[in-house]
Structure 1
Amino acid sequence: MNPEALHREAGPHAAAGIPSPGPATTPRSSEAHPLRFGYGTNGLADLRLDDALALLADLGYDGVGLTLDHMHLDPLAPDLTTRTRRLAHRLDELGLSVTVETGARYVLDPRRKHGPSLLDPDPDDRARRVDLLIRAVRVAAGLGAHAVHCFSGITPAGTDPDTAWKRLAETLAPVLDAATRAGIPLAVEPEPGHLLATLADFHRLRRSLGDPENLGLTLDIGHCQCLEPLSPAECVRAAGPWLRHVQIEDMRRGVHEHLPLGAGEIDFPPVLAALSAVGYQGLTVVELPRHSHAGPHFAELSLPFLRHAAAPSQGSTS
């Protein structure tokens, strides 16, 4: 039964416009679920993809957040199916799991960051974004990925909110259909400054689409610190039933700037304990795209940091 219908009691979740997780998110077992850590290729943009994957495997990561981009499995170049099959074999050789991410800055338009979006006034432009996301679904199916990540985009100037929300639901529908047929969860990310910016916004979209089973959530822990009314750990608990992908970095309240772990304000042990407690079994992927110039350095530092922070929740001494 839908936990939103079961748990509407007053409290911080209700005040934030977020359904209370209630007992429905309690793990069936009292044992904590071990967390699996990855690193995003958007933070390793100066490396060839194979070099980036080999680095992450050597460092001990469990997987990778693969951003489809011109330098890393270009989704618009020829022979995508063949290149995807080759990459699947390489990931298997290295023992790396994968989530497919679609946040490349200029993969569709060399002059507009993240453009065109699902909200663009021009239907042909919206269709280009839809095509990219459906290509990402096919790649994810070929790689055996945990999920496909996406986001709404910024509301265009002159577009009223009701029109923007209607466009978002309409443009996501064929992507969701493709993901459902492929058996790959579609994980929408609340992004500061976008139409869909918060957990409450995710639930608005979910309800407008009729609560489809295959529509899930990408939760960025830094974004929770930046603008959510709940703490990051409380966000994890509230998001539990819909959680399909997690991105992680440090951040400060009110400032959307991805920081290396330990350089911001987030208290990580409670966050990782909450992820373990809600039974999250996907990848928790470090996202530091603006630190790509020193990507190998931050990849090396981030995994020990996360393992240490997760130790209380996983019974680990590492």
Structure 2
Amino acid sequence: MTPKTPAPRHFAAPRADGDLHGTDSGPSAEPATAPVADAPAVTPLRFGYGTNGLADLRLDDALALLADLGYDGLGLTLDHMHLDPLAPDLAARTHRLAKRLNALGLEVTVETGARYVLDPRRKHGPSLLDPDPEDRARRVDLLIRAVRVAADLGAHAVHCFSGITPPGTDPTTAWHRLADALTPVLEAATTAGVPLAVEPEPGHLLATLADFDRLRRTLGDPEHLGLTLDIGHCQCLEPLSPADCIRAAAPYLRHVQIEDMRRGIHEHLPFGDGEIDFPPVLAALAATGYRGLTVVELPRHSHAGPHFAEHSLPFLRNAEAAATRTPVLVPLHGDPSATPEGSTS
């Protein structure tokens, strides 16, 4: 598969009336003379599902499931069970995967949030902020491998995050480490033509949109530095609403993750279990002109991954339809054979 160079994006302004999902009160709610043909065409959003929420499935089984359910693509977390980035013959395995994705018609984003892929004892360790330069270099190497995989798969972005500030490390030192560590990764991304999409993560050094802006300015606003926006994280800790976060981040959006969440609690929840009003969120996202994948992010629900994958897409499509005032009822499938259990870490 030939690597894709992201096309320039043109960002549309949000609707002036601010009404993203209102209802008509009667025939007089819309002008009788308004020509239907003049209504702007809306390009449907493209939804994917994260393989970190299907960790109990073989990768090929996960791909077949998502294709059968009607997903447009997937967020592929490089991990020991799904395209191990450290095992031999990575290029050959990536080539085979590219052919499979092409046959199934699935798009892909490469994600790098595997918990123990580098260290079996330290979750997400080592990070880009590790005090040991050799440990930081291991994380950098992983990200550069991810960029190469993304290029070979034709992925539209590579996701990453900063990591938690190590104990005893002052913020200035941590920010210097992050900028230095990301420089060779951005060089690789520029060479490959694949955007690097940094995710603000609650509890990390780079936790908010304001932190992303700081990194962008520090690095000189490089072309291939973009943003992964997690909608739940916006609900969790941003001062703006999730829809306003999308509008603020629009010029830098390269990857979007989505799930439900509650204010002040960093817990990824199935849709309907949190506090997010999704039609305004999806309306705002569509208005930006974003054409990458919007990937369901439920990493702690792999015990019932097929169930949540099956139910998430109809929810999102119905929310998208509500956002555009053209409801299309998509029936939910029946319950899975096993009742979903509690989430696991």
**Superposition RMSD on alpha carbons, in Å?**
1.4
In proportion to residue count, which structure has more helix?
A: 1
Counterpart of 2:143?
A: 133
Pair 1:300 & 2:313 matched = no
**TM-score under structure 1 normalisation?**
0.91
Counterpart of 1:216?
A: 226
Secondary structure of the corresponding residue to residue 128 of structure 1: helix
- Contact 1:33/1:280 (8 A) holds in 2: no
Deviation of the 1:30 alpha carbon: 4.5
Deviation of the 1:34 alpha carbon: 1.6
Pair 1:59 & 2:35 matched = no
Alignment of 1:164-203 (within 5 A): 164-203=174-213
2:109 to 78, 96, 99: 99
Deviation of the 1:24 alpha carbon: 6.5
Counterpart of 1:317?
A: 328
Secondary structure of the corresponding residue to residue 189 of structure 2: helix
Moved over 6 A (4+): none
CA distance in 2, matches of 1:30, 1:117: 45
Alignment of 1:35-184 (within 5 A): 35-184=45-194
Secondary structure of the corresponding residue to residue 308 of structure 1: helix
- Between the two proteins, what is the percent identity of the paired residues? 83
CA distance in 2, matches of 1:49, 1:301: 20
CA distance in 1, matches of 2:327, 2:182: 41
Counterpart of 1:241?
A: 251
CA distance in 2, matches of 1:25, 1:203: 21
Give aligned pairs, total: 295
Counterpart of 1:26?
A: 13
Counterpart of 1:9?
A: none
CA distance in 2, matches of 1:24, 1:275: 10
**TM-score under structure 2 normalisation?**
0.84
Counterpart of 1:254?
A: 264
Counterpart of 2:275?
A: 265
Task: Give structure 1 stretches of 5+ with no counterpart.
Answer: 1-22
Counterpart of 2:238?
A: 228
Alignment of 1:274-289 (within 5 A): 274-289=284-299
- Contact 2:11/2:250 (8 A) holds in 1: no
CA distance in 2, matches of 1:24, 1:80: 37
Query: Is the radius of gyration larger for structure 1 or structure 2?
Result: 2
Residue type of the alignment partner of 2:13: T
Question: C-alpha offsets along residues 178-202 of structure 1, whole Å, 9 cap, x if unaligned?
Answer: 0010000000000000000000000
CA distance in 2, matches of 1:242, 1:31: 23
Deviation of the 1:32 alpha carbon: 2.9
Deviation of the 1:33 alpha carbon: 3.0
- Contact 2:237/2:263 (8 A) holds in 1: yes
Task: Give structure 2 stretches of 5+ with no counterpart.
Answer: 1-9, 15-38, 330-345
Counterpart of 2:6?
A: none
Question: C-alpha offsets along residues 61-83 of structure 1, whole Å, 9 cap, x if unaligned?
Answer: 00000000000000000000000
Question: C-alpha offsets along residues 6-45 of structure 1, whole Å, 9 cap, x if unaligned?
Answer: xxxxxxxxxxxxxxxxx96538x95333200000000000
CA distance in 1, matches of 2:130, 2:41: 46
Question: C-alpha offsets along residues 216-250 of structure 1, whole Å, 9 cap, x if unaligned?
Answer: 00000000000000000000000100000000000
Relative to structure 1, the CA distance from residue 24 to residue 47 in structure 2 (aligned partners, 3 Å threshold; closer, same or farther) is closer
Relative to structure 1, the CA distance from residue 302 to residue 180 in structure 2 (aligned partners, 3 Å threshold; closer, same or farther) is same
Residue type of the alignment partner of 1:224: C
Secondary structure of the corresponding residue to residue 303 of structure 1: helix
Counterpart of 2:5?
A: none
CA distance in 2, matches of 1:316, 1:251: 24
Secondary structure of the corresponding residue to residue 244 of structure 1: strand
